[in-house]
Structure 1
Amino acid sequence: MNSTIQINELESMLIAIVVLFLGYFINSKVKVLRKYNIPEPIVGGLIVAVIITVLHQHGTDITFKLSLKNTLMQMFFATVGLAASFKLLAKGGSRVFLFLGVATLYIVIQNAVGVSLSTMLGLDPLLGLIVGSITLSGGHGTGAAWSQTFASDFGLQTLELSMAAATFGLIMGGIIGGPVAQRLINKFELKSEFGGGEHHHAAHPDLVTYSDHEEDRITAKNTIEVLFILLVCVAGASHVKELVDSLGINWLRIPDFVYALFIGVFITNVCETTKVYKVNTETVDALGTISLSLFLAMALMSLQLWELMELALPMLVILAVQTITLAIFAYFVTFRLMGKSYDAAVISGGHCGFGMGATPTAVMNMGSLVSRNGPSPQAFMVVPIVGAFFIDIANLVVLQTYISFIQ
């Protein structure tokens, strides 16, 4: 039995920041990582995760106390909501439903790949759904939930496979998104309508960039005010989720960060309509970037890579094919259906993130892209809303349809 070393909360936060510094440093020295926009949290987080995995194999487990991780994620999604003014929603609201259609189409294809390859390799076709949209579009939480269903209804023990497949997807989604989108940007010579560089707020004061390099003009007063609003969103999300859960309405049981996003949308548009308060978007930009970076560092440094050892060769083959399929789909289909624009390219990179991993992975991919190529507020509105909320509903419908046919 392994011995355990528990890192306390303060030291865990310090290590998360070190993960970011490590990612920044390595990316600055390795040209290929910069060329293909491999996100810094992926680089630094995987290095720390590998070290922890080696220690695990030698009898020592490292555990982090990351109680702020979920709060940071909710804070980021609250900033997405605060950036979604009526003007932006009116301009790009239709794209949300267009992208939902594109993402739903891919879920159908993703499960077709999983089920067909499982059948060809002599496996239970239901396992194809595990290495399909259950874990790749759904993530760890969806994988764990469906594992219980598979165990009770079909006698299949799939929890270890689900966790391993979701971990694989999280990593690969963060690796392929940047190269796919950057190739599109380079090939079609796409430019952000706001231009490149690091000084967008002088000309566009209401723009939220989510770029690590953006020069945000903020004050201590603005920071405290926006931090207060973000914490209101986080606290409100917790209470709304408790209320919804107590009502027993299953279809309304969505992750708490989605509620934080919608509360942010409500607050910013009430403020905009009544003009009682002006939300400082540069501060929203800075705090959103900080909270996302720290959340991703925490999430990636705590990956249990030894779970991947649960994957047998046939499952690795299926997951490899899934990775290639998504990259091709995002490059040729997502990009074209979303309009063959700069925003469409960034959305394609985001699609790689949550099509293989999770919505935060999608946002990480897009953040890396906009830091290099310029802002894409449309992408940062469309992808989080679809990836955090609508896609789970679509995924459920598609999965139930597949199961009914398989059985």
Structure 2
Amino acid sequence: MEVTLNGYYTLILATLVLLLGRFLVKKVKFLEDFNIPEPVAGGLVAAVIVYALNIIWGYSFIFQQELQTACMLMFFASIGLSADFGRLKAGGTPLLIFTAVVSLFIVVQDIVGVSMATLLGLDPLLGLVTGSIALTGGHGTAGAWGLTLEEQYGVVGATTLGIAVATYGLVAGGVIGGPVARRLINKLGVEPEPVNPNPSETEKLASKQSLYSTKHNEEDAYRNKEIFEKPDNIRLITASSTIESLALFAAALAFADFMTVIGKDTWFDLPTFVWALAGGVIIRNVLTTVFDFHMFDRAIDVIGNASLSLFLAMALLSLKLWQLTDLAGPVLIILMVQTLVMVLYVYFVTFRIMGKDYDSAVLSAGHCGFGMGATPTAIANMQAVTDRYLASPKAFLIVPMVGAFFVDIVNATVLQIFVNLPFM
């Protein structure tokens, strides 16, 4: 029996899923420790309930697709509107080098995914889902590309698989980052910072001042950029800044719709969400560079974060877990191989190319985080390392900038090339 829910009920259920996720993350330590996003925590529980209703009573639910699509496009537009290429100056050459290292890994990740999927008798496009779509891309990219693969390429269960793989990646990225960095640091001979059991008041004050300075340097470099997994962080926005930002979103979405129509059946026939991201990048950098326009980053963050949370909640409500039954074994093998490749890459490539020093080891921990999971996982990995050893302002400057938006731009480009290859 199919139950169709209109936009109102879809939105109500999505918000309930988000509230459930917030409750679970606060109460379950595992979810908090591994930075599992609230929409994912609540959404997976909802997906299991929907699965049980289907198995026991035969119910299936159809949710309002247009609302989900709109939220997805808003999220990708927010990434583009946040991608200020002027910030490249703050990171300098190391930022460019790290972006190149990460970009090469995206290609490696997709080659491994497609090769393993083909070897195991799966659709090569599912190899992309177990590659950079879900691992480097995370839940947002997994949901967006999942819909595209299902609707345009007929890949059954792509969204369900992508969400599952992205969740695995969050955990795996958090598990491997610290041990890899510690092994690299031990090779360098760097000792952990000694802990003074009875610090003087002067030492306490100096420590607080150092922490304050480091945090504020990072914030200045990153302009208080936030990610959706931290929805409770306060951002000071106004009604006027929100309206102006919504106008920018509208322009990016209009650009995406226009380019999707004129690009149909041509060499630049791209998914609409890729054009939304590209539109945001163009609008942002033209306005700030040519017209010296002040962008309201906080408002863009809030709108983008809310859109992504709602999109994920609706995507997870729509999951059909029964579609994963036959894929479980082969997918697990691919994910084990991907995890090993991630470890070897950061150990022999990221660490060496970034300078073979302490900062490189911390960057390697961060790369494990967003190469398998998401930017918050990368930050948590680096914090675990620097709390034990030394501070690394360089790593905390570079990783958020690359992980938050530059990697999404590169990933979208690489994936578009892969899906158009003759053997796919």
TM-score range, shorter chain: 0.7 to 0.9
Deviations 1:267-319 (A, max 9, x none): 2222222344201111112212111111111111211112123x1xxx43221
**Which of 329, 334, 340 pairs up with 1:328?**
340
User: What's the offset of the Cα at 1:102?
Assistant: 1.3
The 3 A distance-change label for structure 1 pair 28 and 331 is farther
379-388 or 165-174, larger mean C-alpha shift: 165-174
| Aligned counterparts of 2:24 and 2:149: Cα–Cα separation in 1 | 33
Aligned pairs (5 A) from 1:229-378: 229-245=248-264, 248-250=265-267, 252-309=268-325, 311=326, 315-334=327-346, 337-338=349-350, 339=354, 340=360, 345-352=365-372, 365-367=374-376, 376-378=400-402
Match of residue 86 from structure 1: 85
CA distance in 2, matches of 1:219, 1:200: 24
Query: 1: distance between equivalents of 2:215 and 2:380?
Result: 9
Q: Tell me by how many angstroms 1:234 deviates.
A: 0.8
Q: Conserved in 2, the CA contact under 8 Å of 1:103 and 1:391?
A: no
Tell me how far apart the structure 2 counterparts of residues 229 and 165 of structure 1 sit (CA, whole Å): 31
Percent identical pairs in the alignment equals 25
SS at match of 1:278: coil
Within 2, Cα distance between the matches of 1:179 and 1:366? 13
Deviations 1:206-236 (A, max 9, x none): 3322232322111111111101111110111
Q: Distance in 1 between the 2:152 and 2:302 partners?
A: 37
**3-state SS in 1 of match to 2:295:** coil
Are the aligned partners of 1:131 and 1:318 in contact in 2 as well (CA < 8 Å)? no
> What is the CA distance between 1:48 and its match in structure 2?
0.8
User: What is the RMSD computed on CA atoms of the aligned residues?
Assistant: 3.4
SS in 2 for 1:380: helix
Aligned residue type for 2:109: Y
Is the contact between residue 72 and residue 292 of structure 1 (CA under 8 Å) also seen in structure 2?
Answer: yes
Q: Does 1:133 find its partner at 2:128?
A: yes
Listed one character per residue, the Cα deviations across residues 238-291 of structure 1 (whole Å, up to 9, x for unaligned) are: 01111111xx323x1111122121221222222222344201111112212111
Measure, in 2, the Cα distance between the counterparts of 1:294 and 1:391.
24
Q: How far apart, CA to CA, are the structure 1 residues paired with 2:218 and 2:67?
A: 30
Amino acid at match of 2:415: I
Local SS of the residue matching 1:67: helix
Q: What stretches of structure 1 of length at least 5 have no aligned partner?
A: 119-124, 148-158, 354-364
SS of residue in 1 equivalent to 2:335: helix
325-334 vs 55-64, greater mean Cα deviation? 325-334
Paired residue secondary structure (1:163): coil
Whether the 8 Å contact between 1:78 and 1:261 is mirrored in structure 2 is yes
Give the corresponding residue for 1:7.
5
1:98 corresponds in structure 2 to 101
Q: Which of 358, 381, 386 in structure 1 is aligned with 2:410?
A: 386
Pair 1:216 & 2:235 matched:
yes
Query: CA 1:195 to 1:4, structure 2 compared with 1: closer, same or farther past 3 Å?
Result: farther
Q: How many residues align?
A: 356
Secondary structure of 1:254 counterpart:
coil
Structure 2 residue 166 is the aligned partner of structure 1 residue 173: yes
8 Å CA contact 1:49–1:301 kept in 2: the answer is: yes
Match for 2:111: what amino acid?
V
Counterpart secondary structure, 1:46: helix
Pick from 106, 109, 114 the counterpart of residue 111 of structure 1: 114
Distance 1:5 1:69 in 2: 17
CA drift at 1:187: 6.5
- Output one character per residue of 1:335-386: Cα deviation in whole Å (capped at 9) or x when no partner: 7644446565444333335xxxxxxxxxxx3356659968812211232112
2:303 maps to amino acid: L
In structure 2, what is the Cα distance between the partners aligned to 1:323 and 1:260? Answer: 30
TM-score (norm 1): 0.76
- The CA distance in 2 between the partners of 1:47 and 1:80, in whole Å, is 28
Q: Structure 2-normalised TM-score? A: 0.73
Inter-partner Cα distance in structure 1 for 2:34 and 2:249: 32
- In structure 1, what is the Cα distance between the partners aligned to 2:17 and 2:174? 24
- 1:391-406 counterparts in 2 under 5 A? 391-394=415-418, 396-397=420-421, 400=423
What stretches of structure 2 of length at least 5 have no aligned partner? 134-144, 186-210, 355-359, 384-395
